[in-house]
A and B are shown apart, each in its own frame.
Chain A
Amino acid sequence: GAGVSQSPSNKVTEKGKDVELRCDPISGHTALYWYRQSLGQGLEFLIYFQGNSAPDKSGLPSDRFSAERTGGSVSTLTIQRTQQEDSAVYLCASSAQRDTASDFGAGTRLSVL
């Protein structure tokens, strides 16, 4: 079946612009996660959605970052007034049940010039 789909695969933007990154999880997966990975670094947790519950936003680095998940499926991560330090690969993952692993999308590589 289809895996986790992310778009765009690459995004180049100018400092100060807003960007939207999209994640389409695996059908039926109730949990959705956003991570950020800078070059050569580990995964940095950003936000987590579980069903219709309030999201866990504890990893968002600043109020310029926000995310939505509509209808329990597609999610959008928005970064306002982008800064050069926002440049990274943004990874989305989804998970089906309590004890199962998460499947990752291919990521969006964001470059802020």
Chain B
Amino acid sequence: QKEVEQNSGPLSVPEGAIASLNCTYSDRVSQSFFWYRQYSGKSPELIMSIYSNGDKEDGRFTAQLNKASQYVSLLIRDSQPSDSATYLCAVKVGNQFYFGKGTSLTVFP
């Protein structure tokens, strides 16, 4: 059974702060990792992908991967109210995706 675990939150941070979202996974052969953002009533949209250990930065977003610890995280710098959404962690094994249940983030002004 492949599992992807996320803190359900809700996570609440003030505008301008760093939001930290965490995800752990059970399958050691996982090679591809993704973060999706889902606004209420909308479908998930990809915001970050990461394949190698270490950090990957894209604008205000940084994904961090540690395969030894089976841990992937997403940092959002200078959080904005528009970042308020549910963030889904996904792990790909072969061609199959395994999603966490998501972490709800609220950024308050």
Query: Taking beta carbons and an 8 Å cutoff, which residues of A are in contact with B?
Result: 31, 33, 35, 41-43, 45, 48, 50, 56, 91, 93, 95, 98-107
Contacts and interface: CB of A to CB of B under 8 A. Distances in A.
A56 B96 contact: yes
B95 A101 contact: no
B43 A101 contact: no
B46 A101 contact: yes
A101 B102 contact: no
Given A42-B102, A99-B32, A101-B49, A91 B92 contact: no
A31 B93 CA distance: 13
Contacts of B92: 99, 101
B97 A102 contact: yes
A43 B99 contact: yes
A43 B4 CA distance: 12
B46 A42 contact: no
B55 interface: no
B81 interface: no
7 contacts: A42-B101, A48-B96, A91-B43, A99-B92, A101-B92, A106-B43, A107-B43
A20 to B, nearest CB: 20
Q: Which of the listed residues A31, A43, A50, A93 has the most CB atoms from chain B within 10 Å of its own CB?
A: A43
Nearest to A33: B97
Q: Which 4 residue pairs of A and B lie closest in terms of their CB atoms, listed nearest first?
A: A42-B101, A104-B43, A43-B99, A99-B32
B45 A104 contact: yes
A106 B101 CA distance: 19
